[in-house]
Amino acid sequence: MSEDQTAEENLDLKDFSQENQVSDTDKTEVADSKPKQVEDLQAVFDVPVKISAVLGRTQLEISTLLDLEEGDVIELDRKVGEAIDLYVNNRLVARGEVVLVDEKLGVTMTEIISNNKDIM
């Protein structure tokens, strides 16, 4: 028997009684206490973050790495045209396509990755 099943079986009916219910007023107070406005986030707008665009990955032996010369090609685990991963502070947040912008590389985001956590 799993730990979750044991916890469910140990629930008491008093856990569902009226005195343990959350009222609509309580729900409103909790919702109002969570800052969701842009003004509430002003303090973090100047915090620097590290953004990485990962084209692909590979593994090499050190001897192979040391033998690399200018012009050698390192094969990655992605195909041409496949979406690249975008990380913010080492957390995957989006996928996108490489684009050229004024002779510099850029990324167009094609998919936002949701982490299923509420942002407070």
> Number of structural domains, the chain?
1
Residue 12 resides in a domain:
no
Residue 32 resides in a domain:
no
Range 109-113, long-range pairs (CB < 8 A, 24+ positions):
110/83, 111/83
Question: Residue 74's domain spans which residues?
Answer: 49-112
pLDDT, one tens digit for every residue, the chain (120 residues)? 444 444 444 444 444 444 444 555 554 554 555 556 777 788 888 999 999 999 999 999 999 999 999 999 999 999 988 999 999 999 999 999 999 999 999 999 999 998 755 444
Report the CATH number that the domain containing residue 63 is assigned in CATH. Answer: 2.30.330.10
Are 95 and 111 in contact by the 8 Å Cβ rule? The answer is yes
Residue 101 resides in a domain:
yes
Q: Which of 96, 100, 90 is nearest to 108 (CA)?
A: 96
Residue 69 resides in a domain:
yes
- What pTM was estimated for this model as a whole? 0.57
Residue 40 resides in a domain:
no
Contacts with 20 (C-beta within 8 Å, 6 or more apart), sequence order: 14
Residue 63 resides in a domain:
yes
